[in-house]
Structure 1
Amino acid sequence: MRGQDAELLKEYFLTEQIKDPSFIFEIDVDDDCQLKRCFWADSVFRTAYGCFGDVIIFYTTYNTNQYSMIFTPLVGVNNHGQTVLFACAFLSDDKTNLFVRLFEVLKKSMPTNNPKMIITDQDPIMTKAIAHSLLNTFHRYYSWHIPEKFSTYLNAITYRDFYKDFRQCIWESECPMEFERKLETIINKASLYDNDWLKSIFEMRNRWVPAYVNHIFSSGMSSNQRAESSHAFFKKYVSKKNLLMDFILQFNRALAHQRHEELATDHVGINEKPLLKLSLEMEKKMAEIYTRKIFLKFQDELWQSLVTMPQLVRENDTHKVYTVESGPHYSGHRAREIAYDKGSNYASCSCKKFDSQGIPCKHILAFL
């Protein structure tokens, strides 16, 4: 019975609170003492949120227990690019008020303000709750989730002939104008003027199309690979046969393994310095700033910048604009545009890599 599980969970959480005074939890039951909602976060969760809580992935998983309660982990990325947990909850259903209460508890219990971005699936109930509780947070949908639905909402022949064009339009458009121009071309060629689903996803384009959202830092968390790795992490340890306490015990084993991996990566980063490829002061400085794993991504961009050639295309009193093309070994890559603001001494690139991931791209590095 869920009522018995609620009592067991409360006893367990109180025990954890004795061991970890920063452990917090909240349990709600209905008039029949049946569990409606529970939320918990230990000191490690809360510390991680304080450091890396700018961006959160929030998703719901079913069939993790006998009662089909919704398990809702709040997930982020640490400074090594590893998936970390900020908090966990069980919900009895997906009503807006339960999501609202969850977000209110999150805000109350965490050491910093609202996240800058939250990434979820395309759920209207969750969207409504986020709009109510996280007023200053940018709500983004998984960029990979909507393209996966094309096979459902297009007939087989249209899907076969035009899905590649849709993917190219979505992933390679660098600005809203380019996306809209390409999409209109595809719709005309495929005669999809009356497809209501396409109309609906176009109307919400500013929540999921990269050209509309990559100017906001997301730590690379909107990718299919990131979400799939998070799902895989939980699926290894949970079953729809679990009682809630069974789930907690299995989950804690998984969490211990995850935290061991984090500590091991910290140890490597402290004791094994990366090999520098170039005698550049920038490379030395970035090796001090970034963790080892993130530095290696920067180093790859720096290396590629050596065969990346910026060309000045126009200039006025306040700005310079360059086009940047890779060398002959990277001829398949499209040209990018660098906009340089003279007054602020700031350069931005049309690829938006620095904006969305915090790593300078090879185009910017070539310009510098």
Structure 2
Amino acid sequence: MAVLSAQLGGYENIGCTEKDLTNYERDKRQKSKGRDAQMLYEHFEEMKELHLTFEYEVKVDEENSLLHCFWADHIARQSYKYFGDVIVFDTTYNTNRYGLIFAPFMGVNHHGQSITLGCGFIHDETTESFIWLFESWRKAMQGESPKAIITDQDPAMTKAISIVFSNTFHRYCIWHIMQKVPEKLGAIAHRDEFIRPFNDCVWNSQTSEDFEDSWEKLMTENGLEDNVWLNSIYAVRHKWIPAFVRHVFFADFIVRFDRALARQRHNELAADHETISRLDYVAEGERENDDIYVYNVFKVARLEENDCDRVVRYEVSKKHADCSCLKFQFKGIPCRHILCVLRRVRIPILPEYYILKRWIRYARVGSIHDNDEVAIKPDCDDSISLCHSNLSQICRLLVDEGSSSKQGYLLAKERLYDILRDV
């Protein structure tokens, strides 16, 4: 009401009371209650028409009431191909208005961000319900099981995983374990006696044997009977927790869920953009003479006080650049200003002048002579580091040129796939 009052210039201009709005919302919910599940089904059908690769499953009881449902759009299914090695499955969310439990499949992308790999609602947390959901999800993922799955310690879930994902490593989530430890020990004992050896056991174990020995000792000393097998696997608990699930109709949920999913995927695109443009420098130059160009190199967005312009002199005949920051002369490593200019003049391979052997991975490999001039001289010109550097420069140039147009993108993509098939 306060918002409407501010928009309309006073409560007297609203034309209804707060009670009227409450009754309207109640009537609206009552009308949608009878066909809420049908609206969810119609939404799935619409998504299937828009994207043929959208997958969903629905299960109803004898009275045609919704028991379980599952869905995964084309982006989720595609993401699983790239990041489906380890997934997090968690049902510790709020139920919706009908008591159905929200059960998302989550993963972690190449930026360390949480991503959604499919979602479902289940009627209860029995083994049969989990089996139905896991089989529906695996079917949508072309029958491929993940390498590892992280869950809480639900016995029914554990049994279902052993049946559906028999070859998948199943590990319990460190977050859930840490939540239960204070309950068993008490807050003071947990803080004073447990947390340090526990952290040392989990994070500092060098082998699985070290972990088992430390864990068994820890359990005995602290009187814990639940021997949770963690191994050396740790997964970052996802931060995307849809609090909007609680007590909402399916129609409301879909709107809010799609909005949250769009925000999640936008964050990934933003991280992609930041990664691509991290070396965000521009070189503006002019010719000094027939062989020398002078470039003013600066960062587009100056985020720090010490961000300042640099002057790079580039000698065409020698393909050599010197920067006023003198980083190469001081550290033996080419600065980002020099790299910016080399990209500007389209030199895809870093000149050997800038690759000092002492900084490469195989710095100790090379020609060694003893007092009798007997030499052991392995050839290090084709070292892995040098090859990686050369290929990285070429690929970066290809990405810059190929992404500038649709035709260039398609051509670059086709040629890269041809190269991958032949390597």
- Unmatched 5+ residue regions in structure 2? 1-31, 282-326, 335-358, 360-423
Q: 1:200 aligns with which of 226, 243, 251?
A: 226
TM-score, normalization by structure 2: 0.55
Partner of 2:49: 18
For 2:93 and 2:103, locate their aligned partners in 1 and report how far apart those are by CA, in whole Å. 9
> Does the alignment pair 1:106 with 2:128?
no
User: Cα gap change, 1:279/1:44 in structure 2, threshold over 3 Å: closer, same or farther?
Assistant: farther
User: Cα gap change, 1:156/1:102 in structure 2, threshold over 3 Å: closer, same or farther?
Assistant: closer
User: Cα gap change, 1:187/1:41 in structure 2, threshold over 3 Å: closer, same or farther?
Assistant: closer
TM-score, normalization by structure 1: 0.63
> Does the alignment pair 1:179 with 2:211?
yes
Determine helix, strand or coil for the equivalent of 2:35.
helix
Partner of 1:291: none
Question: Alignment identity in percent?
Answer: 41
Partner of 1:93: 124
For 1:187 and 1:48, locate their aligned partners in 2 and report how far apart those are by CA, in whole Å. 39
Partner of 1:272: 278
Contact 2:102 2:245 in 1 (8 A): no
Q: 1:258 aligns with which of 256, 264, 282?
A: 264
For 2:129 and 2:80, locate their aligned partners in 1 and report how far apart those are by CA, in whole Å. 21
For 2:273 and 2:187, locate their aligned partners in 1 and report how far apart those are by CA, in whole Å. 51
For 1:131 and 1:249, locate their aligned partners in 2 and report how far apart those are by CA, in whole Å. 34
User: Cα gap change, 1:29/1:158 in structure 2, threshold over 3 Å: closer, same or farther?
Assistant: same
RMSD in angstroms over aligned alpha carbons? Answer: 2.9
Contact 1:49 1:110 in 2 (8 A): yes
User: Cα gap change, 1:29/1:261 in structure 2, threshold over 3 Å: closer, same or farther?
Assistant: same
Shift of residue 256 of structure 1?
A: 1.1
Query: Which of the pair has more CA radius of gyration?
Result: 2
**Higher alpha-carbon deviation: 261-270 or 92-101:** 261-270
Determine helix, strand or coil for the equivalent of 2:199.
helix
For 1:72 and 1:187, locate their aligned partners in 2 and report how far apart those are by CA, in whole Å. 31
How many residue pairs get aligned? The number is 257
Contact 2:61 2:67 in 1 (8 A): yes
Partner of 1:285: none
Partner of 1:27: 58
Q: 2:86 aligns with which of 45, 48, 55?
A: 55
Determine helix, strand or coil for the equivalent of 1:145.
helix
Shift of residue 169 of structure 1?
A: 2.8
Shift of residue 185 of structure 1?
A: 5.3
Q: 1:170 aligns with which of 202, 212, 219?
A: 202
Partner of 1:213: 232
For 1:280 and 1:47, locate their aligned partners in 2 and report how far apart those are by CA, in whole Å. 39
Structure possessing the higher relative contact order (Cα contacts under 8 Å, 6 or more residues apart): 1
Partner of 1:44: 75
For 2:70 and 2:194, locate their aligned partners in 1 and report how far apart those are by CA, in whole Å. 41
Determine helix, strand or coil for the equivalent of 2:225.
helix
**Higher alpha-carbon deviation: 62-71 or 21-30:** 62-71
Determine helix, strand or coil for the equivalent of 2:202.
helix
